[in-house]
């Protein structure tokens, strides 16, 4: 028994001497845990291409004008890298993460665009729970703290309580401004009450010493056996306006039915004083404040920010062991923005409603297949649309090869008496060459016909991508 236990724990324990009673055997002294190093990561690269050919017939007083246009709609190479390392010691844990993408546009004027979404080192003391993270990172918890380059410190105050400090420079903001700085503090509480947790944060962002964003935020989470919910509230202290409110919940009700609810209302983009730079052409707030008052800059920032609202009510229920039925009711609306400086006025979208009926079946003809039938009805102030689609996933050769064909049909009629009909055929494939290497590709063909009072257009387009993914470790 001692030898078997030693095998499970990785310890080299000698066998008990012959004749020694098991009841009198002394347990072997446990060896201290040794450090472990673990690595993970992958690289993926895809080529995206697309072409379209459009034939137009336009009714003119002199007769019918016919034209044909062929063009390359997309040609790009996208590379993504995601690597990480973890070094577990006897009293500490260190992690390093690097994640980013690079896109090279091969059409017309070639240019490259890179996005580094994570590049940090995280050090944590096992006994105290104190941790320090340095580099490009997202906020330790949720909220609207965004992506930043800097440092964050987490200090466990007591059981269930944590205190976080973050500071640095905002990364990838909507509007680039000089000398941007960000500081935030957060208090996290978990397990204080059964199933309840949450946090509260305060954030202050500046540019050239001028306050750009200052807000208070609260998150509340509940997780039970049959019900879970998440609530976010972000209030801007600079504009004295509610920046975002979000409520999400999921419940298991009788009959194995799952009900999901989402209610979300937020500013798009988030309220920042630098949003005023969009409409004025100025390069900094300090430059803008030389010609405008602070009240006028705030008014311009508010004018270039719309209010976006959305809601979702979804219910899904298994019919039997192979079929599941789901119904989604969706609502969305984006408010209007007036003309401000060089910023053109944008009308409100109005309330847009969608109803989706989805039937999903699995293992219908094999051990690894999924079929999905979808019917969607769309209603907006300016148009009505209907979409019918079918999708399938089939796996072969022990899941080393998968095929995913899709069929879609969409028709739309708007208030300008324009009728649109679109039919699409797609095929996606994945081939696992080895434990680490896979090849992926997808092609989509679409035929679109548009009928308007004065013109008729027919467009045939194809979109595809092909590439590989390789797990480094």
pLDDT in tens, 249-266: 999 999 899 999 999 999
Whether the per-residue pLDDT at 450 is higher than 60: the answer is: yes
Tell me what pLDDT residue 67 has. Answer: 75
pLDDT mean across residues, the chain:
88
Whether the per-residue pLDDT at 246 is higher than 90: the answer is: yes
Tell me what pLDDT residue 27 has. Answer: 44
Q: Which residues, 6 or more positions from 66, have their beta carbon under 8 angstroms from its beta carbon?
A: 55, 56, 57, 58
Among the residue ranges 275-289, 355-369, 454-468, the one predicted with the least confidence is 275-289
Q: Which residues, 6 or more positions from 236, have their beta carbon under 8 angstroms from its beta carbon?
A: 213, 214, 215, 242, 243, 271
Tell me what pLDDT residue 463 has. Answer: 96
Residue 174 C-alpha from the chain's centroid: 17
Burial class, 425, CB count within 10 angstroms (exposed 0-12 / middle 13-18 / buried 19+): middle
Closest CA to 302 of 349, 245, 210, 238: 238
Tell me what pLDDT residue 310 has. Answer: 97
Percent of the chain with pLDDT over 90: 68
| φ, ψ (nearest 5 deg) of residue 297 | -65, -40
- Provide the CB-side half-sphere exposure for 454 (13 A, CA): 5
Mean pLDDT of 238-257: 94
Residue 60 — pLDDT band, cuts 50, 70, 90? low
Written as six digits, the tokens of 21 are 């009673």
Quote the Cα angle for 424-429-430, to 5°: 155
What is the gyration radius of the CA atoms in the chain, in angstroms?
29
Among the residue ranges 192-196, 266-270, 447-451, the one predicted with the least confidence is 192-196
Q: What is the pLDDT of residues 368-389, one digit of tens each?
A: 899 999 999 999 999 999 999 9
Whether the per-residue pLDDT at 21 is higher than 70: the answer is: no
User: Is 364:394 a contact under the CB 8 Å cutoff?
Assistant: no
Tell me what pLDDT residue 65 has. Answer: 67
In sequence order, the β-bridge partners of residue 40 are 84
Integer CA distances (angstroms), 305 to 170, 180, 279, 325, 336, in order: 19, 20, 11, 39, 9
Whether the per-residue pLDDT at 411 is higher than 90: the answer is: yes
What 3 state SS string does the chain have?
CHHHHHHHHCCCCCCCCCCCCHHHCCCCCCCCCCCEEEEEEEEEEEEEEEEEEEEEEEEECCEEEEEEEEEEEEEEEEEEEEEEEEEECCCEEEEEEEEEEEEEECCCCCEEEEEEEEEEEEEEECCCCCEEEEEEEECCCCCCCCEEEEEEEEEEEECCEEEEEEEEEECCCCCCCCCEEEEEEEEEEECCCCCEEEEEEEEEEEECCEEEEEEEEEEEEEECCCEEEEEEEEEECCCCEEEEEEEEEEEEECCCEEEEEEEEEEEECCCCHHHHHHHHCCCCHHHHCCCCCHHHHHHHHHHCCEEEEEEEEEEEEECCCCEEEEEEEEEEEECCECCECCECCECCCCCEEEEEEEEEEECCCCCCEEEEEEEEEEECCCEEEEEEEEEEEEEECCCCEEEEEEEEEEEEEECCCCEEEEEEEEEEEEEECCCCEEEEEEEEEEEEEEECCCEEEEEEEEEEEEEEEEECC
Q: What is the pLDDT of residues 161-191, one digit of tens each?
A: 999 999 999 987 778 889 999 999 999 998 7
Distance CA 117, CA 382 (A): 38
Residue 96 C-alpha from the chain's centroid: 22
Distance CA 287, CA 290 (A): 5
Written as six digits, the tokens of 220 are 């509340």
Distance CA 262, CA 329 (A): 10
Tell me what pLDDT residue 71 has. Answer: 81
Integer CA distances (angstroms), 127 to 90, 92, 130, 401, in order: 10, 8, 8, 46
User: Is 180:275 a contact under the CB 8 Å cutoff?
Assistant: no
In sequence order, the β-bridge partners of residue 93 are 88, 124
Percent of the chain with pLDDT over 70: 89
Q: Tell me the longest C-alpha to C-alpha distance in the chain.
A: 113
Among the residue ranges 52-66, 67-81, 203-217, 218-232, the one predicted with the least confidence is 52-66
What 3 state SS string does 286-345 have?
HHHCCCCCHHHHHHHHHHCCEEEEEEEEEEEEECCCCEEEEEEEEEEEECCECCECCECC
Residue 2 — pLDDT band, cuts 50, 70, 90? low
Residue 311 — pLDDT band, cuts 50, 70, 90? very high
Pairwise pLDDT comparison (56 vs 335), residue with the higher score:
335
Mean pLDDT of 38-65: 84
Distance CA 417, CA 420 (A): 10
Q: Which of 9-13, 102-106, 461-465 has the highest mean pLDDT?
A: 461-465
Mean pLDDT of 76-95: 95
Whether the per-residue pLDDT at 192 is higher than 80: the answer is: no
Q: What is the pLDDT of residues 296-309, one digit of tens each?
A: 999 989 988 999 99
Tell me what pLDDT residue 19 has. Answer: 40
Among the residue ranges 85-89, 95-99, 148-152, 341-345, the one predicted with the least confidence is 341-345
Q: What is the pLDDT of residues 124-141, one digit of tens each?
A: 999 888 999 999 998 766
Pairwise pLDDT comparison (194 vs 421), residue with the higher score:
421
Residue 239 — pLDDT band, cuts 50, 70, 90? very high
């Amino acid at each position: 028994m001692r030898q078997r236990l030693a095998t499970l724990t990785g310890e080299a324990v000698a066998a008990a001497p012959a004749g020694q009673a098991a009841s009198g055997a002394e347990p072997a002294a446990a060896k201290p845990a040794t450090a472990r190093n673990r690595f993970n990561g992958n690289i993926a690269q895809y080529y995206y291409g697309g072409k379209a050919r459009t034939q137009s017939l336009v009714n003119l007083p002199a007769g019918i004008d016919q034209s044909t246009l062929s063009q390359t709609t997309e040609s790009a190479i996208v590379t993504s890298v995601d690597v990480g390392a973890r070094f577990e010691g006897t009293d500490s844990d260190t992690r390093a993460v690097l994640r980013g993408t690079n896109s090279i546009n091969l059409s017309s004027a070639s240019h490259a665009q890179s996005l580094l979404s994570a590049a940090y080192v995280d050090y944590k003391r096992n006994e105290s729970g104190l941790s320090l993270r340095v580099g490009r990172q997202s906020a330790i918890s949720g909220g609207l703290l965004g992506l930043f380059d800097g440092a964050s410190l987490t200090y466990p105050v007591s059981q269930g309580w944590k205190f976080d400090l973050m500071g640095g420079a905002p990364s990838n903001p909507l509007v680039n401004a000089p000398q941007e700085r960000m500081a935030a503090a957060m208090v996290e509480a978990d397990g204080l009450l059964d199933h309840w947790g949450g946090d509260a944060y305060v954030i202050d962002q500046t540019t050239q010493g001028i306050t750009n964003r200052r807000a208070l935020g609260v998150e509340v989470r509940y997780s039970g056996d049959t019900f879970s919910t998440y609530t976010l509230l972000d209030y801007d202290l600079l504009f004295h306006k509610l920046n975002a409110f979000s409520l999400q919940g999921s419940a298991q009700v009788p009959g194995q039915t799952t009900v999901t609810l989402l209610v979300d209302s937020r500013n798009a983009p988030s309220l920042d004083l630098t949003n005023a730079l969009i409409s004025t052409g100025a390069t900094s707030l300090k430059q803008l404040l030389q010609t405008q008052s602070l009240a006028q800059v705030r008014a311009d920032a508010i004018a270039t920010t719309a209010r976006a609202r959305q809601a979702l009510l979804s219910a899904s229920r298994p019919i039997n062991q192979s079929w599941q039925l789901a119904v989604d009711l969706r609502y969305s609306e984006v408010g209007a923005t007036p003309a401000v400086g060089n910023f053109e006025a944008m009308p409100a979208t109005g309330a847009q409603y969608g109803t989706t009926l989805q039937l999903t079946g699995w293992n219908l003809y094999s051990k690894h297949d999924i079929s999905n039938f979808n019917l969607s009805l769309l209603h907006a102030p300016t148009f009505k649309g209907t979409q019918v689609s079918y999708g399938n996933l089939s796996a072969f050769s022990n899941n080393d090869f998968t095929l995913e064909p899709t069929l879609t049909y969409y028709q739309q009629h708007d208030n300008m008496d324009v009728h649109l009909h679109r039919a699409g055929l797609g095929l996606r494939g994945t081939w696992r060459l080895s434990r680490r290497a896979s090849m992926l590709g997808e092609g989509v063909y679409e035929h679109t016909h548009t009928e308007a009072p004065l013109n008729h257009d027919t467009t045939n387009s194809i979109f595809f991508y092909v590439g590989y993914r390789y797990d480094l470790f």
